[in-house]
Amino acid sequence: MKNKINSYFLLEYLKLFSIILFTLASVVWVVQSVNYLDLVVEDGHAFKIYFAYAFLSIPKSLTKLIPFTFFITLILTIIKFERDNELIVFWTSGLNKMNLVNNIFFISILFTLLQWLMATTIAPQSLNYSRSLLKNSQLTFYESLIKEKKFNDTIKGFTIFIEKEDSNGNFQNVFIKDDTKVKFKKVFDEYGNIDLEKSEKIRPNSSTIFAKSGYFANISNTPYLVLMNGTIQKEKEDGNISSLNFDKTQINLDQYATKTITYPKVQESNTIFLIKNCYLNLISIKTNYNKTQLKGCPYKGKDAINELNKRIGMPLYIPLLSLICCYLLSSRREEKNDNLQKWFYFFIGFIVLIFAEIVVRYSGKAYYLTLTYYLVPLSLAFINYLLLVRKFKFENLKV
């Protein structure tokens, strides 16, 4: 009897959880996908890169939505069972309320493990892979990047201005500033993170091109900008400028990259890499989390610790939220303040979620803040579990 009731509660909860999570994730994904259109419109990437990048952002959205969805679904499930008089059936059949509390707590542990898996492995890997797509992709919509009488610098190190474009795609009076000055050439390791030891500086190289006309051409599946009747002025290493007139010249556009960030951000880095190269380095040199540079870690110490706390510490708040919802098992519809109690516990749980999101942003500033971020959910969960045992000890009916 007890196992059937617990299984029934779990099944109903999972059904409602799936519906709410799918609905919220769909809305978030649509909004994000609209924002990602800049990859095509502004940065010139292909549509297949856009769709792949948008699809790979789903795990990140799910990671952010799971704690909130878990909390809302649990409240709605308990309220539904109460309004359908199913809780009364549970109690009259002799079910111990603490047994249901333990079942809900067990569900929260399962979702904590799921959140850990999503936050530490699936989401970072999908984000890292999406970034590698941008890094390895080529610009395809060059024509859409050119606008009359406007300076366009979407292509990295390449600014172009045209005075007029006719219906056939021919340009008139073209100005190009080709500034390929690079301060640092980034080399990535097997995890997709910047290898500072192998990265190297690149010398500057700058040129200016004036042409009376030009057009885009695809030669052997390679995009070229063909220019007619113009001059190339190039800066030499000694600071002098050389000038060369031409009747026709071609610029291979594959050598240029978009301004889209192609190196992995901290949230896209491997969890093991952050622990080994960032967190353990901070511990070993006994420094504070605000240290800007660490050998082998391309991120600020504070940012790396914040990200680790978000991945590992945030799921610990899920069991606490489950125990807060369990106080609803003591409510009665005939009580005058029944609705007020529901809103009260919803408000408390919502405050916990806000606290977790805000404090994690500052948890990387010092050791004690990180320790506090982990101890708060663990200690409060333990205290609330003892309070629930005390609250329901007189209703300890046995099956």
Same domain, 353 and 322: yes
Does residue 270 lie in a domain region? yes
Last residue of a domain, one of 233, 255, 277: 255
Please indicate, yes or no, whether residues 237 and 281 belong to a single structural domain of this protein. no
22 shares a domain with 89: yes
Q: For residue 99, is it within any domain?
A: yes
| Whether residue 304 sits in one domain with residue 250 | no
Does a structural domain hold residue 365?
Answer: yes
Diameter of the chain measured on Cα atoms: 96
Same domain for 194 and 236, yes or no, is yes
Q: Are residues 45 and 83 in the same domain?
A: yes
- Of 236, 255, 274, at which residue does a domain stop? 255
Give dist(CA 203, CA 242) in Å, integer: 18
CA distance 289 to 158: 38
Residue 62 belongs to some domain of the structure: yes
Looking at residue 135, its pLDDT comes to 64
What are the 10-residue block averages of pLDDT along the chain, 399 residues in total?
A: 81 94 92 72 65 86 94 93 84 81 93 95 87 64 65 71 81 81 52 51 67 82 82 74 84 63 73 82 56 63 86 94 91 64 90 92 82 93 92 60
Do 220 and 273 lie in a common domain? no
Q: For residue 232, is it within any domain?
A: yes
Together in a domain, 171 and 248: yes
Examine the domain organization and report whether 278 and 386 are in the same domain. yes
Residue 142 domain-assigned (yes or no):
no
Residues 87 and 201 in one domain: no
Counting Cβ atoms within 10 Å, is residue 258 exposed (0-12), middle (13-18) or buried (19+)?
A: buried
How far apart, in whole angstroms, are the C-alpha atoms of residue 95 and residue 268? 46
d(C-alpha 213, C-alpha 233), whole Å: 17
Q: Is residue 141 assigned to a domain?
A: no
Please report, in angstroms and rounded to a whole number, the separation of the first and last CA atoms in the chain. Answer: 8
Q: Residue 114's pLDDT is what?
A: 95
Residue among 37, 20, 31 at smallest CA distance from 73: 20
- Cα gap 288→292, rounded to integer Å: 10
Please say which residue of 231, 255, 279 terminates a domain.
255
Tokens describing residue 92: 């009259």
Let me know whether 157 and 112 are in one domain. no
Full residue range of the structural domain in which residue 242 is found: 147-255
Q: Is residue 327 a part of any domain in this protein? A: yes
Reading the block at residue 354, the tokens are: 């806000």
Sheet of strand 171-179: strand arrangement:
158-165, 171-179, 206-219, 222-235, 241-252
User: What length does the chain have?
Assistant: 399
Q: Could you tell me if 195 and 282 lie in one domain?
A: no
* Number of structural domains in the chain: 2
